[in-house]
Chain A
Amino acid sequence: AQSVTQLDSQVPVFEEAPVELRCNYSSSVSVYLFWYVQYPNQGLQLLLKYLSGSTLVKGINGFEAEFNKSQTSFHLRKPSVHISDTAEYFCAVSLDTGRRALTFGSGTRLQVQP
């Protein structure tokens, strides 16, 4: 079975500051990794995904993440955040890109302050 740990439940940051949201996973087999964003009362929007290849993945809205196999991590970063980035961020893993269900972390609330 797979599991995902997001150590930070909340991350407050000032506007235009850099941010890193941490994600660690556990699996006995290779997995695919995802970051999703959820705005209040909405579904999930895919930010980026790691399937294979380059370990640095660039996504939408200026976000990027780096896959580190030795540390089993997939941290999400953005060099300069905006107020509009305030949302809940979920890290997820799957055994397949789409045909298998996702296992989600507990989520990190990013609160961008002016």
Chain B
Amino acid sequence: GAVVSQHPSWVICKSGTSVKIECRSLDFQATTMFWYRQFPKQSLMLMATSNEGSKATYEQGVEKDKFLINHASLTLSTLTVTSAHPEDSSFYICSASDPGGGNQPQHFGDGTRLSIL
């Protein structure tokens, strides 16, 4: 079945560092991918919608210059947390759906736990 791969699964870095997270659709082409953020013991909140070949659509309150999204190919979207600070520490999850798969729901990556020291 369709699989979404997310890398890395865990990142620990110093404050001020920029961190790139990759989201890949392994056996289908995803024109749209979604990025969510999850704080400890909380639900997932949509950060942005990543559109292949065009600019991402950010949710209200999400800084687009802070969270750079690039969807350069039909199988890869990247989220870069620029100049990360401790308050950016969170669990980031991407999802995508197979547009040719009929009424198929989204498939989620395994998430990336980001810890900023």
Binding site for B on A (CB under 8 A): 32, 34, 36, 41-46, 49, 51, 90, 94, 97-99, 101-107
Known contacts A49-B105, A51-B103, A97-B97: A104-B43 contact under CB 8 Å: yes
Binding site for A on B (CB under 8 A): 6, 32, 34, 42-46, 49, 91, 93, 95, 97-99, 101, 103-111, 113
Q: Is the CB of A106 within 8 A of B99?
A: no
Tell which of A34, A41, A94, A101 has the most Cβ of chain B within 10 Å: A101
Residues of A with C-beta under 8 A to B111: 41-43
Q: Is the CB of B110 within 8 A of A99?
A: no
Q: Is the CB of B43 within 8 A of A101?
A: no
Q: Is the CB of A41 within 8 A of B93?
A: no
Cβ contact of A106, chosen from B42, B97, B109, cutoff 8 A? B42
Distance of A90 from chain B, by nearest CB (Å): 7
Q: Is the CB of B32 within 8 A of A34?
A: no
25 contacts between A and B (CB under 8 A): A34-B105, A36-B108, A41-B113, A42-B110, A43-B108, A43-B109, A43-B110, A44-B44, A44-B93, A94-B105, A98-B97, A98-B99, A98-B101, A98-B103, A98-B105, A99-B32, A101-B46, A102-B44, A102-B46, A102-B106, A103-B46, A104-B44, A105-B43, A106-B42, A107-B42
